[in-house]
Amino acid sequence: MSTNIPANLKYTKEHEWALVEGDTVTVGITDFAQSALGDIVFLEVPDVGSELKLGNTFGVVESIKSVSDLYAPVSGEVVAKNSDLEGSPEKINSDAYGSWLIKVKVKNTTELNNLLTAQQYQEFCNSSH
């Protein structure tokens, strides 16, 4: 499967992308993830003010066929959520990297070191298929 993996972003093995700007991380799902899910029809993400814990589920993305959990790439407080996606989650299918889900204010910046680089993520995608 050919996938689009921008070099300026960081990634997780749960197929999420993270844009790190200082202590704020913008989170979405990767092109690989949207393609694997198919038509996305439902999205559930936490409200602003919610606390996320690294590795814990923080929301759900559903395609017609399946339900997938979202896992927190970092610990911290949700400072924004993308309300544009609420009525039209299918935007994630057409533009996975333009469709951010939430922004998180990172509690412990050392956690950022756990994120994968674009190259590491590419290798992970290759090795798991």
**Positions that interact with another protein (CB under 8 A):** 38-39, 41-42, 44, 60, 62-65, 67
Read out DSSP for 47-104? PTT-EE-TTSEEEEEEESS-EEEEE-SS-EEEEEE-GGGTS-TTHHHH-TTT---EEE
Which DSSP letter does residue 116 get? B
Cβ proximity to another protein, 83 vs 110, nearer residue? 83
Least CB distance from residue 34 to another protein, whole Å?
12
Least CB distance from residue 4 to another protein, whole Å?
16
Cβ proximity to another protein, 12 vs 34, nearer residue? 34
Residue bearing tokens 């309300």 = 83
For residue 125, give the amino acid letter. Answer: C
Least CB distance from residue 112 to another protein, whole Å?
29
Least CB distance from residue 6 to another protein, whole Å?
23
Cβ proximity to another protein, 28 vs 89, nearer residue? 89
77 contacts: CB under 8 Å, gap ≥ 6: 49, 50, 51, 52, 104, 105, 107
Cβ proximity to another protein, 41 vs 118, nearer residue? 41
Residue from 103, 96, 85 nearest 42 by CA: 85
